[in-house]
Amino acid sequence: MRAWQVHRSGPVETGPLRLVDVPVPSPAPSELLVQVRACGVCRTDLHVAEGDLPVHKIDVVPGHEVVGTVAAVGNDVEGFLVGERVGIAWLRHTDGVCVYCRRGRENLCPQSRYTGWDADGGYAEYTCVPADFAYRLPEGYDDTEVAPLLCAGIIGYRALRRADLPPGGRLGIYGFGGSAHLAMQVALAQGATVHVLTRSRAHQELALELGATSVGDATDEPPERLDSAILFAPVGDLVPVALAALDRGGTLAIAGIHLTDVPPLHYERHLFYERNLRSVTANTRDDGREFLAFAAEHPLRVRTTGYPLDAADRALVDLAADRVNGAAVLIM
pLDDT digit of tens for each residue in the chain (332 aa)? 999 999 999 999 999 999 999 999 999 999 999 999 999 999 999 999 999 999 999 999 999 999 999 999 999 999 999 999 999 999 999 999 999 999 999 999 999 999 999 999 999 999 999 999 999 999 999 999 999 999 999 999 999 999 999 999 999 999 999 999 999 999 999 999 999 999 999 999 999 999 999 999 999 999 999 999 999 999 999 999 999 999 999 999 999 899 999 999 999 999 999 999 999 999 999 999 999 999 999 999 999 999 999 999 999 999 999 899 889 999 99
User: Do 326 and 206 meet the contact criterion of CB atoms below 8 Å apart?
Assistant: yes
User: Do 36 and 122 meet the contact criterion of CB atoms below 8 Å apart?
Assistant: yes
pLDDT value for 96 = 97
Residues 6+ apart with CB under 8 A from 105: 284
pLDDT value for 228 = 98
CA triplet 305, 308, 310: central angle to 5 degrees? 135
User: Do 64 and 134 meet the contact criterion of CB atoms below 8 Å apart?
Assistant: no
Write phi, then psi, for 9 (nearest 5 degrees).
-65, 145
pLDDT value for 326 = 86
Q: Beta strand 327-331 with 31-41: parallel, antiparallel or unpaired?
A: antiparallel
Task: Name the strand (E) or helix (H) holding 289.
Answer: helix 285-297
CATH no. for 154-279: 3.40.50.720
CATH no. for 2-149+282-331: 3.90.180.10
Residue 207's nearest CA partner among 232, 236, 241, 173 is 173
Kindly report the number of other CB atoms within 10 A of residue 235's CB atom.
19
3-class DSSP assignment, residue 52: coil
pTM: 0.93
Sequence ranges of the domains in the chain: 2-149+282-331, 154-279
By CB atoms closer than 10 A (0-12, 13-18, 19+), residue 122 is buried
Buried b (16+ CB within 10 A) or exposed e, 90-110: bbbbbeeebebbeeeebbebe
3-class DSSP assignment, residue 303: coil
User: Do 148 and 291 meet the contact criterion of CB atoms below 8 Å apart?
Assistant: no
Task: Name the strand (E) or helix (H) holding 170.
Answer: strand 170-174
Question: Side-chain half-sphere of 233: how many Cα atoms within 13 Å?
Answer: 25
